[in-house]
Every structure is written in structure tokens, then in C-alpha cells.
Amino acid sequence: MTLHLELLRHGETEIGGFRGSLDDALTAQGWAQMRAAVAERGGWQRIVSSPLQRCARFAEELAQARQLPLRYMAELQELHFGDWEGCSAAQLMETDERGLGLFWNDPYGFTPPRGEPMQAFAERVHCALRQLYAEHAGERLLLVVHGGVIRLLLAQARGLPREHLLQVEAGHAGMFALRLDADLRLSETF
């Protein structure tokens, strides 16, 4: 049996750069981006969201409008960037150019200072997928999540080497479709 997942990244937020666990809100543009992304889509049995407000507030609005059950999963929160949270790439080029370069080249091989290791992030996201499969195989779910979660899952579905994780594009309010099979193998659908 297959679990069908549509992944929706949150829209533009008030704080730019590496947000991670920062709980910043969507801008008016971010709300508009997300509403436009789902305007012609549907058919979900339920919505699952990161509890951070840049995902959760929109998920609440959509769940109410479509009369769908909504669940929050902390395992689907963004990677915690440690000391880099709230910093832009330009700022980090001035303060930690070496670290930023190492992270971009191999996010599994370098962890931002006091940040969450990529392997731990991947394990918690995969734990959430296993749980969702066990509880909802055969259904179609909308996951309202973060760029890091989407990049991780798309890279896996596309069979990319782990060093290419950050090369996966996942723009604000981008939507992506995946299927999760019984062997917990991900594949991208269009």
C-alpha cells in the first residue's frame, strides 16, 4: 500500500536567512503565496504540519476551510541551525565563511556551531514518515513543512548523493508530490 504525500513549503517569512527553530510569522506575501499554491489543489484526507507558526497558522486556516483533520508533528520542524539562526548567508560570509562553505559542500559532514547534526535531523524526519505510513497508508496527506524537510525528502526520492542535499530547490510555497511505499521507499510523482 502507498501513502501519497504532497509537501507544501511555508511562504515568505518576517525573518530571512537561516530560521531553523525561530518561530517567525508569515508576511502578507507569504500568506498570499500559500493560498495561491493550494487554490487549485485538494483531495487530501488530512493535513500534517510543523508546529512552528510559519507552517501551523496556514495549516489551521486550510484545515478549517476544507474541513480536514489537522495534526502537528514536532519531528517535521526545520533543522536547528544553532548559532546561525537568524543570520543571512551574507552575514555568515563575514563571520563564518569557512563553516558556511563546509556546510554547503557537505551538510552531513559539517554541523553549524551548536546546531543539529544533519543525520539527527534526517532520522527524526524519517521517524515521522514511518509513523505517518503506519497510521495512514492508502491516504493522501498534505504536509505543511520547511525547506529543509522538503530538500531532504526530495533528495532521497531522487537518489541524490547526500552532499547534493542543499542543491535541491524548494522555494517559498513550493509544492511537491511524493509516494511512500510499504518498504518506506520514497519516489517523486508529478
Note the pLDDT tens digit of each residue in 148-174.
999 999 999 999 999 999 999 999 999
Beta strands 175-180 and 3-9 are antiparallel
What's the predicted TM-score (pTM) here? 0.95
Note the pLDDT tens digit of each residue in 10-25.
999 998 889 899 999 9
Contact call for residues 142 and 47 (beta carbons, < 8 A): yes
Whole-number mean pLDDT of the chain? 96
